[in-house]
Every structure is written in C-alpha cells, then in structure tokens.
Chains A and B, each alone.
Chain A
Amino acid sequence: MIPPSFDYHAPDTLEEASRLLLANPEAKLLAGGHSLIPMMRFRLAEPAALVDLRKIPGLSGIREDGGSLRIGAMTRESELEKSDLVQSRYPLLADTTRVIADPVVRNLATVGGNVAHADPGNDHPAAMLAYRASFVAAGPSGQRTIAASDFFTGPFSTSLEEGEILTEIRIPEAGPGSGGAYRKFERKVGDYAVAAVAVQLQLDGGRISGAGVALTNVGLTAIQAGAAEAALVGSDGGDAALDAAAEAAAAAADPTDDHRGSADYKRAVVRVLTHRAASSALTRAREAS
C-alpha cells in the first residue's frame, strides 16, 4: 500500500530539526521508519511532513561515560547485538535487542525510535524502566534529562514536548554484583510479545539491594511493577522471594483479551516469566560479583 503524501526534510542539525517540528505541528520525526512507515501505509498515521534524523551527526553510538552507558537515539538494534560492551556487561539490554522483530528489521530499527514510539508492545521501554534509565531530549529550550519512569505517559505517547527530540539513552553503568534478564513469550519470530518481563538486580553481600521489574504489552504502557521490586529487595533471592515477586508482577499486569490470548492467560505468563527472568538475573549478578 502507498503511504499518503508528505513533505520530506533531512536537516543537518538538531536545531534545524526542532525548528521544522515547531513550524509544522503535523510533522513527525523519521528514524528507522520501521514503526512509522507501516503505520503510514495503513493510513494509521498521516503526517504532513517528515523530518528525517539520518543526516544529523552524533546521534548514534554506544559508550560508557560519566557513570552511564550512553546509547545514541539513532543507534540501530543490530549495533547493540554486535556490541561487545553491551553483550558482556549489559545482559538485560542484550536479551531485549535479540527478541525485537527479526534480523533484517533490526538492521534499520533504532533504539531511540523504539523508546519514543512508546507502543505498549515495544520491548525497550520495560527494559529501560527496570534499568532506571534516563532519556536526554533536545528542544527549543535546550537540553533536559527525563527519567524513564516519567517518560511513558500512555499508548504511543511520551512526555517529550513539542519540538523535542530524543538524542540519547543513559543506563546506569554496570558495576560488580549487577545483572539482569529479559524474558519474552512470542507466538513467532518478529511478533510483539504476548507478555514479557525485564528484571535488573543489584547484589550486595549476597542480598538483593536493588531491583527493577517491568512488564511489556500487558497494559497501556510498559508497567513498572513496584510491589515485585519490593518483594525482591532485602531478600537473598530464594524461592520464596521469587514466588512473591512473580505473584506481585502478575497482579501489577493489566492485560486485555485479544488475539494473543486472554487476560488471565497473559497474567499467568507474566507470573512464569518474572520467575524465570529474576532467576536468570540473579545468576548473572552473582557471576558479576
């Protein structure tokens, strides 16, 4: 199907991109295009203009700096897959990237687009909530940093203001005793999750001193499961704590019946996946101690 007509711009600077967005209220940013173009082909999105980020320098790359892992918004999923730094030190991120779409899609899909699109089915938002990540946005009034927990305001909506562009994702730098995992249940390769669970843990002297637990595609946005986090913190990660966390995560899920399954089924999937993700995160955190 043919997308609707639009004006195309490919500015060289963030300032120009932001100016174009403000001048055209019906404009949208174009990153990898792998969510936006399918929506345009179905006429679910009909932006009057597209502002392509591809020519703006400095928007992609992966590096550790100033206590964070910094990922440029235009970094492709395949770059995370091929990054030794991500694969060796950020297992939750490595797990997540591997289950997003398929290998050909991952060559173009960007991490920033995945976060900014804020589809409840996107996998990075839950991982970012579990990591306690933050997002850097550039806009007409300069640059600001937004905590992941303040970013996802509803399905396909974020706290980015008009004219703001997501430029970087920051994940707290991995240290001794940290580890995470992402567990996704999908019907087939390339499908969005029936349900998925992200867990990030910090161990201190054999006990869990910090926990992030978040859920994909079982609500209007990715859900941070605070009660599940509380069930883990202070424990030694034994079965009782994992069971309690799994129950709490299932209770935090707010799924609906659809072609991927009934709400009850999805809640059961969340329970099982939370247990598995927490158990794997714990093993990895111990190995990193």
Chain B
Amino acid sequence: MSSHQISVTINGEQHTREVEARLLLVHFIREELGLTGTHIGCDTTSCGACTVLLNGVPAKSCTVFAVAADGAEVTTVEGLGNGGLHPVQRGFTEKHGLQCGFCTPGMMLTSKALLDENPDPSEADIRWGISGNLCRCTGYVNIVKAVQRASELMKENSDG
C-alpha cells in the first residue's frame, strides 16, 4: 500500500495533500476538500453524478484515482460560476432543468464542455452529449431547454 504527495488545482486553487493510492478523486474532492457539490450516485461508472472537468474534459471522478490526477486542473460545480452564475447555471434556473438536483452538478459540467466545443448545438447534439449523465427526475426535456437557453446566454455575452 503506497501513499503519495499530490498537488491538484481545483477551481483555480492548488491543493497539496498526502493520499493513499486507492483514494478516488471524488472522495478527495468531497472528503479531503469538503467540496460536496460533486455527487456520488452509483458504483458502476454509469450515472455521471460525479462528473468534473479534468483538464477541461468531463470525467467521472469516481473512476479516477486521486494520485493519477496529480498535476491536473479540476473544475467542480463550485468553480463553475465566477462570482455570479455561469450561463449554464442561469439556463438551468430559468428553464427548470432540475427537480431533486442530484444529477445537476455533473449535468451542468458536461453541458459547459459541450457548449465550449459546440456553441450552437442541435437538440440531437445535446441529447447525445449528455447521454453519459443520468437524470431520474426531469425526463430530460427541461434539461435540453436549459442547455439551449445557456447557449443563447453565452452568445449574448460574447456579442455584448
């Protein structure tokens, strides 16, 4: 059993800790750093509730060892808005893109990455893009509307 000193930049802030090799990134984020916006919804890498941006790319943090994230940049839902609400968060608020909210942090991070890559996605692109994130409440209809609204807001921001 080995333990390792790791340094991970989370939401712009660097954190250095000694961790056991088997510690999962999601537990590092929730338990070591107390950032509980990243959720755990399954044991099978299926639900996407634990999605964070790992070097800008959506990743299921329940299936990454914290040691393997040494040197990485991670964004969690706490780091999504910069002071205020991110357009994706505003989209989810305005279009009721959530009910219980359990899937929402992961859903929003996946949506942000999708919009960064494809600012004007079709409904099919959105449904395809979020297909690794499960929602048990909304039936996805309002999530799709929320992402469409976020896309509009992001365009307004970049025009203005």
Residues of A within 8 A of B (CB): 1-8, 10, 30, 33-34, 37-38, 41-42, 50, 52, 54, 78, 101-105, 107-108, 189-190
Quick check: B60 and A104 within 8 Å, CB to CB?
Answer: yes
Inter-chain CA distance A104–B63, complex, in Å, is 11
Inter-chain CA distance A37–B65, complex, in Å, is 9
- Using Cβ atoms and an 8 Å threshold, which residues of chain B touch A104? 48, 51, 58-60, 110, 132-133
Nearest-CB residue, chain A, relative to B1? A5
Output the least CB separation between A76 and chain B (Å). Answer: 9
B22 within 8 A of A: yes
For this complex, 16 residue pairs linking A to B, each with C-beta atoms less than 8 Å apart, are: A2-B24, A7-B1, A8-B2, A8-B67, A10-B67, A10-B68, A30-B68, A33-B63, A33-B64, A34-B60, A37-B64, A103-B128, A104-B48, A105-B132, A108-B63, A190-B131
B44 within 8 A of A: yes
Quick check: B22 and A5 within 8 Å, CB to CB?
Answer: yes
Interface of A is mostly: loop
Residues A103 and B132 in contact in the complex (CB < 8 Å), given A8-B67, A34-B63, A108-B63: yes
Quick check: B44 and A38 within 8 Å, CB to CB?
Answer: yes
- Using Cβ atoms and an 8 Å threshold, which residues of chain A touch B4? 8
Inter-chain CA distance A107–B21, complex, in Å, is 22
Give the residue of B22, B45, B63, B128 whose beta carbon is less than 8 angstroms from that of A4. B22
Residues of B within 8 A of A (CB): 1-2, 4, 20-22, 24, 43-46, 48, 51, 54, 57-60, 63-65, 67-68, 110, 128-129, 131-133
Inter-chain CA distance A181–B121, complex, in Å, is 26
Quick check: A54 and B59 within 8 Å, CB to CB?
Answer: no
12 new A-B contacts at CB < 8 Å, known A1-B43, A33-B65, A34-B45 = A5-B20, A6-B1, A6-B21, A7-B21, A8-B4, A34-B60, A41-B43, A52-B68, A102-B131, A105-B45, A105-B60, A108-B54
- Using Cβ atoms and an 8 Å threshold, which residues of chain A touch B132? 101-105, 189-190
- Using Cβ atoms and an 8 Å threshold, which residues of chain B touch A4? 22
Inter-chain CA distance A104–B54, complex, in Å, is 11
Quick check: A107 and B131 within 8 Å, CB to CB?
Answer: no
Output the least CB separation between A251 and chain B (Å). Answer: 34
Inter-chain CA distance A81–B68, complex, in Å, is 24
Nearest-CB residue, chain B, relative to A2? B22
Inter-chain CA distance A104–B60, complex, in Å, is 7
Give the residue of B1, B43, B67, B68 whose beta carbon is less than 8 angstroms from that of A42. B43
Inter-chain CA distance A179–B128, complex, in Å, is 25
Q: List the 3 shortest-distance A-B pairs measured between CB atoms, nearest first.
A: A102-B132, A104-B132, A8-B21
- Using Cβ atoms and an 8 Å threshold, which residues of chain B touch A189? 131-132
Inter-chain CA distance A133–B41, complex, in Å, is 38
Residues A103 and B131 in contact in the complex (CB < 8 Å), given A37-B65, A38-B44: yes
Quick check: A108 and B43 within 8 Å, CB to CB?
Answer: no
- Using Cβ atoms and an 8 Å threshold, which residues of chain B touch A190? 46, 131-132
Give the residue of B21, B63, B65, B67 whose beta carbon is less than 8 angstroms from that of A38. B63
Quick check: B45 and A38 within 8 Å, CB to CB?
Answer: yes
Nearest-CB residue, chain B, relative to A37? B63
- Using Cβ atoms and an 8 Å threshold, which residues of chain A touch B68? 10, 30, 33, 52, 54
Output the least CB separation between B101 and chain A (Å). Answer: 19
Inter-chain CA distance A10–B5, complex, in Å, is 13
Output the least CB separation between B133 and chain A (Å). Answer: 7
Residues A107 and B2 in contact in the complex (CB < 8 Å), given A8-B65, A30-B68, A37-B65: no
Output the least CB separation between B116 and chain A (Å). Answer: 13
Residues A107 and B22 in contact in the complex (CB < 8 Å), given A8-B65, A33-B68, A102-B131: no
- Using Cβ atoms and an 8 Å threshold, which residues of chain A touch B60? 34, 104-105, 108
Nearest-CB residue, chain A, relative to B48? A104
Nearest-CB residue, chain B, relative to A9? B2
Quick check: A6 and B22 within 8 Å, CB to CB?
Answer: yes
Nearest-CB residue, chain B, relative to A3? B22
Q: Which of A42, A54, A107, A190 has the most CB of B within 10 A?
A: A107
- Using Cβ atoms and an 8 Å threshold, which residues of chain A touch B21? 5-8, 50
